[in-house]
Amino acid sequence: MTDPGKVKKICMVAGWGRYPVYVAQALKTQGFEVHCFGVVGHADKKALSAVCDVYRPVGMCRLGKIIFHMRRHGIRDFIALGKYFKWRLFRPTSFLVHLPDWTTFQAFASYFITQRNDCKDDSLMLAMVRLFEKFGLKMGSPTDYVPELLAEEGILTRTQPTEAQWRDIRYGMEVARELGRFDVGQSVVVVNGAVIALEAIEGTDRCLERAGTLCPKGGLVLVKTAKPNQDMRFDVPTVGMQTLETFAKAGGRVIAIEAKRSILVDREEVLQFADAHSMAVCAVQFPDSSQNRVPAHVEISE
């Protein structure tokens, strides 16, 4: 707890997208002094600089710089959010392009150099968490500061999924949960009970583009879920305008996200775009990996 009279300070590590900007604005409204490190080639420098008290660009592999800044300024809490193009780390010259500082090199050598540890998303993020904890720094959940961005259960657009599309949603959720259980990806594209594309390290947008190429007739149903054991501190499923625009070009018709465990950014703009393109957007509550349900007023024919 922050002592009365002390300035509340927090550090943000911001990736790509509008989500970090929303969170920064919320933190300022809540009285925080916000120190932001924007990942080079990812973060919206102009927007974040205008909101945050301190903005510094940082390379993807320069965690030591962030830790030094936090300790120097008496900041204990940090959050990491926004999209990170992790596939860049798997290029042959990645460690030269994203030259790590010594702190990062020591922490991640067993992942990228000696390969004693795997490079799954959760493995890398938890390694970062342990590194910061080593210096007495604590990682929090961004959604604690903007709970209103978590999608509530229900059909969010005027357009509603058909019965056949609800069946695709239910099937897609089952597949996506298994995908998440292995920490592979979050998104599945389905048409008429057939899986068209699965997301891996390339990210949702490239997965959607591939689905549009493989199924040019359109009618795509995108299902995006949290992992069964989702850590809400990082890699929470997020949908925003970029997703909608890419999906529309690919021939998308329905987007189903997991209620209360998925982030909906630019909500009004997203839903207006969906309505204008006769797309359905819904948030479905899945209590556990073996049970799922759609909104109570929708009946599914078996």
CATH number for the domain spanning 206: value is: 3.40.140.80
What's the whole-number mean pLDDT along residues 266-278? 97
Q: Is 1 part of any domain?
A: no
Q: With contact defined as beta carbons under 8 Å apart, do 186 and 204 qualify?
A: yes
CATH number for the domain spanning 14: value is: 3.40.50.20
Q: Is 292 part of any domain?
A: no
- Return the pLDDT at 98: 66
Domain, as residue range, for 19 = 8-144
> Which amino acid would we find at residue 223?
V
Confidence tier at 297 by pLDDT (50, 70, 90): very low
Q: How many helices (H) and strands (E) does the chain have?
A: 10, 13
168/278 same-domain check:
yes
Confidence tier at 275 by pLDDT (50, 70, 90): very high
120/196 same-domain check:
no
53/13 same-domain check:
yes
Q: Is the pLDDT of residue 289 over 60?
A: no
- Which of 109, 144, 179 is where one domain is finished? 144
State the Cα angle at 174 between 172 and 180, rounded to 5°: 95
Q: Is the pLDDT of residue 173 over 80?
A: yes
Q: Nearest Cα to 58, choosing from 15, 20, 87, 19?
A: 15
53/163 same-domain check:
no
Confidence tier at 48 by pLDDT (50, 70, 90): very high
Q: Which of 104-113, 123-132, 244-253, 260-269 is least confident?
A: 104-113
- Return the pLDDT at 119: 81
Q: With contact defined as beta carbons under 8 Å apart, do 263 and 150 qualify?
A: yes
Q: Is the pLDDT of residue 299 over 50?
A: no
Confidence tier at 301 by pLDDT (50, 70, 90): very low
Confidence tier at 189 by pLDDT (50, 70, 90): very high
